[in-house]
Amino acid sequence: MEFRGFMKEFILSELEDAVGQENVSILKGDKLAYATDYFWIARMVVDKGGEAALPDFVVRPGSAEEVSKVLKIANYYKIPVQTWGGGSGSQGGALPLAGGILLDIKRMDKLINLDVKNGIVTCETGMIFQTLEWYANEQGYSVMHLPSCLTCCTVGGALAHNGIGILSTKYGKIDDQVVNLEVVLPNGDIINTLPVPKHSSGPNLLGLFLGSEGTLGVMTKVTFKLIKLPETRRHHAFLFSDISTGYNACREIVQAVKPSIVRLFDEAETVSIIKKVIGFEKKGSFLNLTLEGYSSIVAEEEKIVLAIAEKHGAQYLGTEYGEKWFENRITFFYPGIMMNNPQMFGTVDTTATYDNIEKVYWAMKHAIEDNFEGVRFISHSSHWYDWGCMNYSRFIIDNPPESEDECIRLHNRIWNAGVRAAIENGGVINDHHGVGVKLSRLMKENYGPAMQVLEGIKKALDPNGIMNPYKMGL
């Protein structure tokens, strides 16, 4: 942002007054830390030594009240505010692309209440999700939200893009796990959603803020459901002849029992990443599946799963590969194993009903593989519902163009092709990584006239448009 005369120092002193001098920084070392999140384009710019978008002020509030003060200042001066949690998002949702204030919420990391009787836990949203999980585990419980970014994301980041964890098929997405929220609105008012998530007391405000990606306010406190750690957790692995057979078998399984983990890999991912990380060498469509809970119930569920898998001609691979996958569930994302720059890559994840999910898979695969040279397409389906499932499809280009411009152009064309293929076949823009700046332009295509609802809410809550500009199509 351009500040004239003494205005930058003037605003700096107001921000320091709001959160304490030591919690506001304009130091280069602090600003550079926000040059990139996990978004490929931001990484590519850094990798090529290009100019990253940096904030003017790094502000670290310690409470909802301090967030409120900062938002009032930002509204008065009409300064953009981009909220940053762990910075592990892949959609550029937290990037300070408009300059102004980078609101880093990690100082708000207090555990407020762990209530075993009511089965709930309340914390501030700047807490690292792993820390919350440790606190729950200490008491024999879990939040049962274990995303791959568990160790690096904040609770607030997971709420902001409506995230999901590996146990989702049994315990749900994060919007199934939240009980209530505290939110600071763009005008600085601190509000609470109703104390319980299920009611007939008007539209549910939880659904408005979960997944709003910092465009409608700042979520500062959350209460989650607590689940007792399972008596047993048993892992299994299967091999199907192809992804199509796998889809049918898994649909039947999840409509009969509730596994916690169901991960079905297409043939391309089975022979690449699964082989690399857990050493499985055969061709086909690999599935790892986990059942958990009371041992006696798990034993009955296992019988049902094995029977359905057998009916679909699956080869049962025993428990070893499933255990290995679980042990290595985060290893997949470490540098040296995960795709890395200068490779170009992206996760084009989407969700659809069972009728449509395979159509979406093939449409996306063709849209990407048939139209772009040197691209690989791999996919797995890792979150399953009664009505459908998601595809976690990825494209990889080992030798992308040299120039930044060409990289951005090619990257966006691939994304446009993949996401439009999904939408045309009954899918959505995204399953669980969010929209961010990456997919902002496609929101209207997906929502159609319904987009005016989101636009109207945005205008009412954030008339100055200061909250996370360029993101989520708002």
Provide the 3-class DSSP secondary structure of residue 167. coil
Q: Could you say whether residue 30 binds other proteins (CB under 8 A)?
A: yes
Among 121, 128, 184, 249, binds other proteins (CB under 8 A): 128
C-alpha 451/C-alpha 443 separation (Å) is: 8
Among 6, 10, 134, 362, binds other proteins (CB under 8 A): 134
Among 82, 83, 88, 440, binds other proteins (CB under 8 A): 88
C-beta closer to other proteins: residue 109 or 213: 109
Size of the site for other proteins (CB under 8 A): 53
Q: Could you say whether residue 60 binds other proteins (CB under 8 A)?
A: yes
Q: Residue 61: which of 95, 111, 22 has the closest Cα?
A: 22
Q: What share of the chain is helix, strand, coil (3-state, %, to 5)?
A: 40, 20, 40
**Residues between 312 and 351 with contacts to other proteins, criterion CB under 8 A:** 330-331, 333-337, 340-341
Which residues, listed in sequence order, are joined to residue 114 by a DSSP beta bridge?
A: 121
- DSSP E strand stretches across 168-217: 178-184, 190-192
Provide the 3-class DSSP secondary structure of residue 15. helix
C-beta closer to other proteins: residue 6 or 334: 334
Options 123-131, 189-197, 254-262, 287-295: segment touching other proteins (CB under 8 A): 123-131
Q: Could you say whether residue 135 binds other proteins (CB under 8 A)?
A: yes
Helices in 312-448 by DSSP H: which ranges?
320-327, 354-369, 404-424, 443-447
C-alpha 255/C-alpha 295 separation (Å) is: 20
The least CB distance from residue 32 to other proteins, in Å, is 6
C-beta closer to other proteins: residue 23 or 241: 23
Contacts of 172 (CB under 8 A, 6+ apart): none
**How many Cβ atoms sit within 10 Å of the Cβ of residue 200?**
5
The least CB distance from residue 130 to other proteins, in Å, is 4
Q: Could you say whether residue 106 binds other proteins (CB under 8 A)?
A: yes
**Residues between 269 and 308 with contacts to other proteins, criterion CB under 8 A:** none
Beta sheet of 232-240, edge-to-edge order: 315-316, 232-240, 285-293, 261-265, 375-381, 388-397, 344-353
Phi and psi at 283, nearest 5°, equal: -90, 150
The least CB distance from residue 324 to other proteins, in Å, is 14
C-alpha 404/C-alpha 416 separation (Å) is: 18
Q: Could you say whether residue 32 binds other proteins (CB under 8 A)?
A: yes
Q: Residue 384: which of 238, 211, 264, 268 has the closest Cα?
A: 264
AA letter at 244:
S
Provide the 3-class DSSP secondary structure of residue 163. coil
Binding mask 139-158 for other proteins (x = CB under 8 A): ----------xxxxx-----
C-beta closer to other proteins: residue 36 or 142: 36
Among 104, 269, 301, 323, binds other proteins (CB under 8 A): 104
C-beta closer to other proteins: residue 127 or 419: 127
C-beta closer to other proteins: residue 47 or 455: 47
C-beta closer to other proteins: residue 209 or 345: 345
The least CB distance from residue 399 to other proteins, in Å, is 18
Residues found near other proteins in the complex (CB under 8 A): 22, 25, 27-36, 38, 43, 46-49, 58, 60, 84, 86-88, 104-109, 111, 126, 128, 130-131, 134-135, 137-138, 149-153, 330-331, 333-337, 340-341
